[in-house]
Amino acid sequence: MRPAWPLTWANLALVKADLLEFDAEMAQSLQYSAAYGPYEPGVLTIVAGLGLRYEAWLTPAMAEVVNGTILRGLTSRAGGTAQQVFGLLASHSTGAPLNPALRASLEDQLGSNDWARNTDQWVNLALEHWDEWSSVGLPPIRLRLLEKITDQPRRLRRVSDTVHLLDICPYLSRKPEILLICTRGLPTKGG
C-alpha cells in the first residue's frame, strides 16, 4: 500500500465500512485520507458517501472526519465534486434529520455569506431542512435563504412546491414577480 495516497486510504475505509468493520484501522484510514487528500475529489465523494451511509456506526472521531469532508466537498471547486456531494447529502437526508454535528457544521456554512458557488444546491439544502434550523426569530440561514430567493425569483418557484411558502413570502421584497409567485402558491379562502 502506498502510505501517502489519499484515495487508497479512502478506498480502504470504504471496504472496511462495507464489511462493517468500524475499528481502529478504519478510523486511521479515514484520518489519513482526509489528511493526505483533503480536497481530492475522489476522497471527498467516497468518504462523504460512506459516512452518510454508515453514520449510525461511526465513532465520534470518525464522524468528525466525515463531517469535515462533507463540508469540504460541498465547497469544492473541483469540477462536479460539489454537485456529487450535494447529491449524496440530498439522497441521504430525504425526510431524515441530519446528525447534530453535521447540522451544526452546515448551519455555520449556510449562515455565512459564502453561497456564491452552487447557490441553487444551497437553497435546496436549506429548504430540505428548514424546520431543523434554529427557529428563534429569523436565524442567519433563513435570512441568507430569503436573500438568495429574492436575488433570483426563479428560485422562489422551487419554494412554491414546498410547505415553506407561507413562512417565506411575508419576508420577501414586494417585487411584482415575487408577489405573483407568492399569491399563486398561497391557499385561497374556502380551499
Whole-number pLDDT of residue 113:
58
C-alpha cell of 64? 468528525
Q: pTM for the complete prediction?
A: 0.74
Whole-number pLDDT of residue 128:
72
Which residues lie closer than 8 Å to 84 by C-beta, 6 or more apart? 41, 44, 45, 73
Whole-number pLDDT of residue 1:
63
Which residues lie closer than 8 Å to 101 by C-beta, 6 or more apart? 63, 64, 67
Nearest to 69 by CA among 108, 93, 35, 94: 35
Whole-number pLDDT of residue 94:
60
Rounded mean pLDDT for each run of 10 residues along the chain, 191 residues in total: 88 96 95 96 96 90 92 87 87 71 75 66 73 59 70 66 67 75 61 45
Length of the chain: 191
Whole-number pLDDT of residue 5:
94
Whole-number pLDDT of residue 11:
96
Cβ atoms of 144 and 113 within 8 Å: the answer is yes
The Cα–Cα gap between 77 and 118 comes to: 10
The Cα–Cα gap between 18 and 93 comes to: 20
- Torsion angle of alpha carbons 29, 5, 106, 79, nearest 10°? -150
Whole-number pLDDT of residue 28:
96
Whole-number pLDDT of residue 106:
76
**Phi then psi for 8, rounded to 5 degrees?**
-65, -45
From the CB of residue 4, how many other CB atoms can be counted at a distance below 10 Å? 10
First and final C-alpha spacing in the chain = 65
